[in-house]
Amino acid sequence: MFKNLLNKTEFLVGLTLVVMSLIIGIINPAFFSIANLFDILRSATVIGIFAMGVLIVIISGGVDVSFTAIGIFGLYVTVKLLKAWQFEGSVVVALAIAGAIGLVLGLINGFFISRFKLPTLIVTLGTSALFQGFMLFFIGSDYIRDIPAGMAKFSMANLVTITQVDGSKSNLHAGVLILVAAAIIVFIMLKYTMLGRGIYALGGSRESAERAGFNIRKIEFTIYGFVGLLSGIAGVTFGSLMRQANPFSIVGTELDVIAAVVLGGASITGGRGSVVGALLGVLLITVMNNSLILLGIPSDWQKAVVGIILIIGTGLPAIQNRQAERRMNATLAE
């Protein structure tokens, strides 16, 4: 049974995270302070929400790079709308509007991918440029610093506030609730619904899934629409946390999210992956980005270190795959 556990990628990722945390913590005990842990959770929130959507896409065998463009589009348009209406109410309205916008944009992705059977990477590359270009040219490219009241109030919504010995306060932001909600929804979707089965099947083998009777088109539409929805929500969360709407932000971080999901055990060719793994991957990437400096690695070299970890993190499963294939082929050989 222990061997079984060792083979599960999620376990390995979790182990890596624990080991890395221990190492960092030993070198610099400040890592384990409540303030730092809250910090890590806060940084991980937006990436985490995006990652839940990207996870679904990757399990289905696709790659989406437009989710950041959808996120910022949702944030920017929502902020502009709410300011135009002088809306002062709850942030939930902002989240809903952004979610709806994201849903529509995601369905556009779904349309091109499922109707014309186009490669997902290229389609989302195109729509990413499309959405961002459209937003910047037709809607506006100015930096908005005074966000609607609801969002501003939300940016200060803290679940837990701890006052340190020296009087400084550390807060756990309520945004984590959104992440937790998203994670639960995606978890239930993947594990307990036919849609989830269909997503795994589609990622494993499109043809087999079709033959088994899954409605691939409907699944694809749903996947990309849902990712859009989550991305819109992530965008507004980001805007609230940052207390501004900068139309040039978020885009450019796609590869961080994809890396997190892949490191968490999702296979890029599809058919494998889990919410737990993705969350662990997000934590791993966040800890790396936040805490390498605590290890004494100068910030100039951090990106290179992340690159090496990425290569190792994708190389090891690849080598494992090869060995497994070789073993399988050896037994099947005449």
**Residue 268 in contact with another protein, rule: CB under 8 A:** yes
Which of the ranges 36-44, 189-197, 236-244, 301-309 carries the binding residues for another protein, by CB under 8 A? Answer: 301-309
Please give, one letter per residue, the 3-state secondary structure of the chain: CHHHHHHCHHHHHHHHHHHHHHHHHHHCHHHHCHHHHHHHHHHHHHHHHHHHHHHHHHHCCCCCCCHHHHHHHHHHHHHHHHHHCCCCCCHHHHHHHHHHHHHHHHHHHHHHHHHCCCCHHHHHHHHHHHHHHHHHHHHCCCCECCCCHHHHHHHCCEEEEEECCCCCEEEEECHHHHHHHHHHHHHHHHHHCHHHHHHHHHHHCHHHHHHHCCCHHHHHHHHHHHHHHHHHHHHHHHHHHHCCECCCCCCCCHHHHHHHHHHCCCCCCCCCCCHHHHHHHHHHHHHHHHHHHHHCCCHHHHHHHHHHHHHHHHHHHHHHHHHHHHHHHHHHCC
* Min CB(141)–another protein separation in Å: 6
Among 126, 185, 197, 242, binds another protein (CB under 8 A): 126
**Residue 106 in contact with another protein, rule: CB under 8 A:** no
Among 122, 160, 212, 293, binds another protein (CB under 8 A): 122
Among 128, 237, 286, 291, binds another protein (CB under 8 A): 128
Among 22, 26, 30, 121, binds another protein (CB under 8 A): 121
Among 269, 293, 324, 327, binds another protein (CB under 8 A): 269
Q: Which of residues 193-232 bind another protein (CB under 8 A)?
A: 206
Compare residues 47 and 262 and give the one whose CB is closer to another protein: 262
Q: What are the residues binding another protein (CB under 8 A)?
A: 61-63, 112, 116-123, 125-134, 136-137, 141, 206, 252, 255, 258-259, 262, 268-269, 298, 300-308, 310-311, 314-315, 318-319, 321-322
